[in-house]
Amino acid sequence: DWLTYPAGIAAKEISGKPLVVHVHATDFDRSGGNVNPRVFEIEKQGMEMADKVITVSNWTRDIVISRYGIPPEKVITVYNAVEPLEEAEKINIRRGIPDKIVTFLGRITMQKGPEYFVEAANKVLKKMNNVRFVMAGSGDMMNKIILRVAKLGISNRFHFTGFLNGDDVYRMYSISDVYVMPSISEPFGISPLEAIQSNVPVIISKQSGVAEVLNHAIKIDFWDVDAMADAIYGILNYPALSTMFKKYGKQEVDKLKWETSASEVRNIYYSLLYRN
């Protein structure tokens, strides 16, 4: 977001028109709190100059208010949504193995908490051996994670796909029994919604915006690998639990529509254009 802030400020100064900043992430999310001072100043200036700041979750709204000092009355949350997945678009692949599959899908970076997924996987594999863990994605922590998996001695049960795109993402969901998002700081997080659309129960970190809109998901602190491992084990071994999260999670996700989000954003624009 921050790369566009100077242009937005200049446009406001030249045109005299209101400026709305729509925050999808901050440097606090990307850096885990170790912010780049230059980026922070640009973000702060952009938010201060804005007439309204839209955030994608209350998690992000709280960061904008507490870390950047933006007045609460100026910051409005409009949740993200997900594109509806028609029955004809759903991908069903027959697995060639009997093992359960637990999936992490996202950038392999500090923000996404991949190391916690590995530690939880190690704990689960001490209790059951008919499960495989898949890390789908790429990022600057890839080599570190591969080395950790090797050191733990779980390489034969832990697989790396590299970056996935388009239909490959939904193919991955279609063979998954559990989806895990252990993000350290996630402004929203659309991937759990996509997983639920594909009939996959999800485990998500409490440090995420999507945790605010999903009731039928298991929520854990990203650092609590014991709770994460217990949640994975529970879903894999108690079919009724998995079925419940699939059924009611899907009902929740079906109610999250981009039309609703767009209408809320439009109303914010109108409130600024016609405030006088």
What is the DSSP secondary-structure string of 220-273? E-TT-HHHHHHHHHHHHH-HHHHHHHHHHHHHHHHT--HHHHHHHHHHHHHHHH
Q: 124 and 248 share a domain?
A: yes
Q: Comparing 31 with 164, which gets the higher pLDDT?
A: 164
Same domain, residue pair 73 and 95: no
- Same domain flag for 115 and 214: yes
Residues 101, 228: one domain? yes
pLDDT confidence of residue 275: 76
Does residue 190 sit in the same domain as residue 114? Answer: yes
How high is the mean pLDDT of the chain? Answer: 94
Domain span at residue 188 reads 87-254
Residues 39 and 101 in one domain: no
Q: Compute how many other C-beta atoms are within 10 angstroms of the C-beta atom of residue 72.
A: 11
| Cα–Cα distance for residue pair 206/221, rounded to 1 Å | 5
SS3 (DSSP) at 147: helix
Distance separating alpha carbons of residues 43 and 212, to the nearest angstrom: 24
Spatial distance between the Cα atoms of 48 and 69, rounded to a whole number of angstroms:
9
Q: How confident is the model at residue 59 (pLDDT cuts 50, 70, 90)?
A: very high
| Per-residue pLDDT, 91 | 63
Whichever domain contains 123, its CATH number is 3.40.50.2000
Rounded to an integer, the average pLDDT of 156-174 is 94
**Mean pLDDT in residue range 15-21:** 96
What span, in angstroms and rounded, lies between the C-alpha atoms of 141 and 147?
10
Q: Are residues 162 and 41 in the same domain?
A: no
Q: Which whole-number Å values give the CA distances from 144 to 27, 120, 147, 186, 237, in the listed order?
A: 22, 16, 5, 21, 30
Are 155 and 130 within 8 A, CB to CB?
Answer: no
Verify that 123 and 209 share a domain, yes or no: yes
Q: What is the pTM of this model?
A: 0.92
Confidence of residue 95 (pLDDT cuts 50, 70, 90): low
- Residue 59 and residue 190 in one domain: no
Is the same domain home to 107 and 69?
A: no
Task: Verify that 64 and 176 share a domain, yes or no.
Answer: no
**CA-to-CA distance for 245 and 200, rounded, in angstroms?**
8
Q: What are phi and psi of 50, to 5 degrees?
A: -70, 145
d(CA 146, CA 20): 42
Label residue 85 by pLDDT band (50, 70, 90). Answer: confident
- Residue 88 scores a pLDDT above 80: no
Specify whether 180 is located in the same domain as 267.
Answer: no
- Rounded-to-integer distance, Cα 38 and Cα 160, Å: 35
Total domain count for the chain?
Answer: 2
